[in-house]
Amino acid sequence: MKIVKKISEIKEIVSNFKKNKKEINLIPTMGNIHTGHLSLLSKANKFDGINIVSIFVNPTQFNDEDDFNNYPNTFEADMEILSKANCSIIFAPSRNQVYPDGIKSEKTVFKYRDILCDLYRLGHFDGVTTIVKILFNLIEPSKVFFGEKDFQQLKIIEQLIFQNNLKIHLIKCPSIRDADGMSFSSRYSTFSKDEKSKFKKCAQIINANLLKLKRDFNHKILDNIEKELRSYGISKIDYFEVRNEETLSLSVNNESSRLFIAFYINKVRVIDNFLLY
């Protein structure tokens, strides 16, 4: 496994791959590698191509400086984990390498916006599309792998590929869930013992109501989830909404729909989505 930190080096490597007609599978991450990330690599292993995992904590997608500063940095452990998972190259550039002219982002994707996380994390998706487009330009992948946990992000990246007419196949990978039924997230590694206990209880509340929602679509069930969480002490809730997974419009039934959630356990933002069909 090769560690690449310079733009010039990754360009040379990609150029050589292209000359030898080798395809590239890109798995973009911000590090703190967990089971969810490894599932993306496992999926990539089912396709031909060289697996490149990028690790870059992208400042332009954070609208909270404390959130950026507290994001877990586990690069040494990440290297050890990825070395055992058929990762050929880790691309881990510095901030100056990625943004030589200063940190900035641009709004280029307008579809699937002004809803869900976009309402609560202003500028977040502009930062996401900016860094993803930079990675696409540098690495020129044939395939890119994203998990369904960040479903709105997935749809926006799909639109980014479409509107730029990029010859990149977006592989959508199902969420990998823990024993409590919640998707894995790097941020959850920062939970204290008490926060882990709260997270477990929240998962129980959500999953109990999820079963009811699957049987009978009813907005009262969504209200009940919020009510139970607030009674348990979760005061900051961004949304509990059922939306169509194709259009992300609000749903009136379970058909092609998902439950989208976002709330906070102290300073850690929990987001997830659940199939309702």
Each residue's pLDDT tens digit, 85-129: 989 999 999 999 999 999 999 999 999 999 999 999 999 999 999
Q: Domain check: are 169 and 77 in the same one?
A: yes
- What pLDDT, on the 0 to 100 scale, is given for residue 66? 87
| CATH code, domain with 239 | 3.30.1300.10
Determine the average pLDDT of the residues in 55-74: 93
Q: Domain check: are 169 and 207 in the same one?
A: no
The per-residue pLDDT for range 71-82, each reduced to its tens digit, is 999 999 999 999
In whole angstroms, give the CA distance from residue 17 to residue 13: 6
Is 234 within a domain? yes
Active site residue 37: yes
- The kind and range of the H/E element at 196 are helix 193-215
Q: Domain check: are 94 and 132 in the same one?
A: yes
Is 277 within a domain? no
The number of folded domains in the chain is: 2
- Round the average pLDDT of the chain to a whole number and report it: 96
Radius of gyration of the chain measured on its C-alpha atoms: 19
- What pLDDT, on the 0 to 100 scale, is given for residue 63? 87
SS3 percent helix, strand, coil of the chain, rounded to 5, is: 45, 20, 35
Q: Quick one: pLDDT band at residue 64, thresholds 50, 70, 90?
A: confident
Q: Domain check: are 156 and 259 in the same one?
A: no
Check 34, 37, 124, 219 and give the catalytic one. Answer: 37
Q: Residue 236: give the domain boundaries.
A: 191-271
